[in-house]
Structure 1
Amino acid sequence: MALRLITRSLRSKQLPMFTTASLLHSHATSFGFKDVREEEKSQMVGNVFSSVASNYDIMNDLMSAGLHRLWKDRLVSKLNPFPGMKHLDVAGGTGDVAFRILETINSVDHRALQDALEDNLQEETQICVCDINPNMLNVGKKRAQERGLGNHRSLIWVEGDAEALRFEDNSMDGYTIAFGIRNVTHIEKVLAEAYRVLKSGGRFLCLELSHVEVPGFKQLYDYYSFSVIPALGELVAGDRESYQYLVESIRRFPPQEKFASMIADAGFQKVEYENLVGGVVAIHSGLKF
């Protein structure tokens, strides 16, 4: 299944003429199915995630029937974490991906770990969780405390913008972003920053939802997306509008082939993607050489 990039012209029948001119002057971007000024989108997305942060885990389970856990497991398995790696997980404030990476590293055979240490090939593992939303980071820190990882020296929590990372060039072995890149204003800037901070040989991995096109299933998926998910958001989180946006944002994200070409344009090589659950989600990857 393929994603579909949905574009909308700023015609007068969609927006008043003065609004259209203003948007074009300030560079318009999408916020769900709405066209907004670029400088407005970041705040609007921030408001969405501030609203959903406290119910993020339970809503993910309800919306995906728990499948998001398996999707994140697959993402981490493709990353191949190793002891001593420096990893950056962007838009991962709740810690879901970071915890999985740390658990995978800690499960590495003790002999392999000892060999690595004896060869002086590895330094201390660092997993940096970077999120622009402090409320999401607070959820992740609370979850870390509940897991006994509150003071774990390998976990680093950073409030930061994916489009302007505060990390040095060539400093990371891996970069992941799960269900976050569709919410940024400039995808190209995020990819450029990912490329910049990765070391030579570093791996980029992105997990993102897609747009279903299979007849029959598409209608069912659309009904579930636009009717059930917002209703769940209203029932569980008391916030229908935020979940309406999250559904719409999926439809505005580029198709797999287009997104893969964007990753390649950022400088990555061996770019590929893997469809999961019939194309409902996809994992894109690339290497920096």
Structure 2
Amino acid sequence: MISLVGTGLVMITLRDLFHTLWHPTRHGGLSRLVMTTLWRLARRLRARRRVVGLAGPLAMVTVAGMWAATVVLGWAVIHWPHMPGAFTFSPGSEAAQEPALLDSVHPSLVLVTTLELGDIAPGEGRLRLMSPLESLVGFALLTATVSWVPEIHPALIRRRVLAVRPAVLRGSDSVTQQIDCTAGALLLDGLATEVVRVRTDFTQYAEAYYFHDGEDRSSPAVMIDYVSTLARRGQVARRPEVRLAGDLLAGALKDLAAVLDRLFLHTGDTPAEVFAAYPADHGRTQP
């Protein structure tokens, strides 16, 4: 029964890792709970913007550490009932004189990290067959954690591109007449594409939400309100292609607001109110 508890810990961790990194919805249970908790703690601290800027990277490091610690603990619990009789110890080792649980953590940590020190090794046939599996789980955990970081950065870049383009347009103070042309339709259509990409990124890489965007002009939380303004201007333009592009952008924004509210903000309000809560959650104010 004790070994089954350890097996359950390992399986829960692998499930959380799978749902966080590879499942189409990417909604890890434990990892999302850790990230949300750290985000809320960061919001409550002083020097808010500086602390919030560390929330995303710190959350990823904490989640990776949680996965590693839980896997090591799970395998240690699996070994515990079989310690020390089912294991062989190197000559002169005093490990067998330690508490059984402590002795179980050592081979678990060695096998998960694939170090294979050899001072404590499984001796029974069943445990000897499990040792390569434990090393394989440790190698998969290390590989998945290392590949997790490069997956996030493209999503952050796409999010900042969505913010910088409207920031440049806002500086030129585009009016309805200026976007009521073929170029305006292409502009609104391009913004709609970028909004859809960011919406998809929030679904696939939810942890990207907890990263700080630097200055206001590179933050979609700040600039999304102006994107909504451009969509409304496009919807009342004279040219049908501009109105179509405005409707497309407005629909993409509505979908983005629904994702933000469902996954992060939980306001249950209209898109306009969600986009007002978005910068507030990131410690920013709309211009």
Q: TM-score range by the shorter chain?
A: under 0.3
TM-score for both structures, normalised by structure 1: 0.22
| TM-score (ref. length: structure 2) | 0.22
Which structure has more relative contact order (CA 8 Å, sep 6+)? It is 1
Task: Tell me which protein shows more strand as a share of its residues.
Answer: 1
Larger radius of gyration: 2
Structure with greater helix share of residues: 2
